[in-house]
Structure 1
Amino acid sequence: MFENAFLEACSKVHPAVPFLFYGPLTLGLLGWGLYAGRTTVGTSALFVPLGLLTWIAMEYCIHRYFFHWEGNGPFTRRLHEIVHGYHHKYPDDERRLVMPLGASVPMAILIGGLLWLVGHPAQTLPYFIGIVWGYMAYDFIHWSTHHRTPRTAWGKQLRAHHMAHHYATPDRNFGISNRWVDQLAGSGGRRRKHAGKDASGHDARPMGRSSVKA
């Protein structure tokens, strides 16, 4: 993906890395918050799930409006290729199925910094942890969807949902860890016409390989 060997190496990550990095970090942060009295079990029980829901909304918006935004010039198209286009061309590249730390850490710092400025650590600390846990679930589900054979009905439906995004309609099915956000947003569904055109007349064929990270 990169001509520079250092950038190429940084763009690859073992799927266990996000969990080994963020798991102990967030558990330690939550433990410290509870021990130091910065937050409580009851407040955490409310705000961690709110953080998870916030990540689901972020996941959908980032995927739909940033990852699939190509812009009009060579810079924006190259940015799209690096951020997401490569994944659609090579969806089975297992070293690029989770987000590298070089991308996720700045995002975590930005979100954490904004919440720190808001104050109210009793609420914002577990809220931040919920967002990070939502991201970790997203990374695991995305890796599993590509790399493992689903055994449950839910897993099979989610895999079909995501594979339709890759191989049939890259302009639909933006939810990765779930399908219900697409249902709410009206952006779910398979190819709508066998002729390779969607309902608006645009080409609905996949990006890249046979044309194929979501």
Structure 2
Amino acid sequence: MFENAFMEAASKLHPAVPVLLYVPLTVGLLGWGLYRGRTTVGMSVLFVPLGLLTWILMEYCTHRFFFHWEGKGPLTRRVHEIAHGYHHKYPDDAQRLVMPLIVTVPLSSLIGGLLWWVGHPAQTLPYFVGIVWGYVAYDTLHWATHHRTPRTAWGKALRAHHMAHHFATPDRNFAISNRWMDTLMGSGGRAPRRSGKDASGEDARTQTRSDVKA
């Protein structure tokens, strides 16, 4: 992706890193907030789910309106290529299935800093934790959707939905961790009819080729 060795290395990440880094940090942050009285259990029960819902909206909007925006000039096309175009060209690159730390650390720091600046830690602290947990769930599910064979009906449907986005309808099916967002936003598309090994990339490619020939 990059000619620069540092940027090339920084763009790759083992899929376990987001879980191992952000889950202990946020659990510790929430525990600290509860222990020090900065927030309460009641506020956490309310605002952690609100944070999760906020991430779901962020995930959908980022994927649809930023990752799939190419602009008109060479700079915007290069930004698109780095942010998401490479992933569509090489969807099975296991080292680039989760967001690199060079992106998530500044972004999470910015969001956390803005919420701290707003004040009201009783609400904003668990809200921030919910956003981060939503992100970790998304990145883990995205990796699993590409790299693991689903065993449940829900997992199979999620994978078929996302593989259709990659290989059949790239202008549809923008939701990754929650398919209902595409239903809500009217951007859902058909899934590949062949889902053997449950909508693997090759199955989706084969179905797309068949559709083109037809």
TM-score, with structure 1 as normaliser:
0.88
1:144 aligns with 2:112: no
Partner of 2:80: 80
The Cα offsets for residues 12-63 of structure 1, whole Å up to 9 and x where unpaired, read as 0000111111011101100100000000011101100000000000000000
1:181 aligns with 2:181: yes
Q: 1:94 & 1:171 partners in 2: Cα distance?
A: 23
Correspondences of 1:9-158 after superposition (within 5 Å): 9-158=9-158
Q: 1:62 & 1:94 partners in 2: Cα distance?
A: 21
Structure 1 segments of 4+ aligned residues over 4 angstroms from their partners: none
SS at match of 2:102: helix
Q: 1:127 & 1:75 partners in 2: Cα distance?
A: 35
1:169 partner letter: T
The Cα offsets for residues 130-169 of structure 1, whole Å up to 9 and x where unpaired, read as 0000000000100000000000000000000000000011
Q: 2:107 & 2:4 partners in 1: Cα distance?
A: 24
The Cα offsets for residues 88-119 of structure 1, whole Å up to 9 and x where unpaired, read as 00000000000001001111011111111211
Q: 1:95 & 1:14 partners in 2: Cα distance?
A: 6
2:102 partner letter: G
- Flag the structure with higher helix content: 2
Return 5+ residue gaps in structure 2 as ranges: 192-204, 210-214
Aligned length: 194
TM-score, with structure 2 as normaliser:
0.88
Q: 2:24 & 2:158 partners in 1: Cα distance?
A: 28
**Residue 189 (structure 1) shift:** 1.1
Return 5+ residue gaps in structure 1 as ranges: 192-205
SS at match of 1:131: helix
Q: 1:144 & 1:178 partners in 2: Cα distance?
A: 14
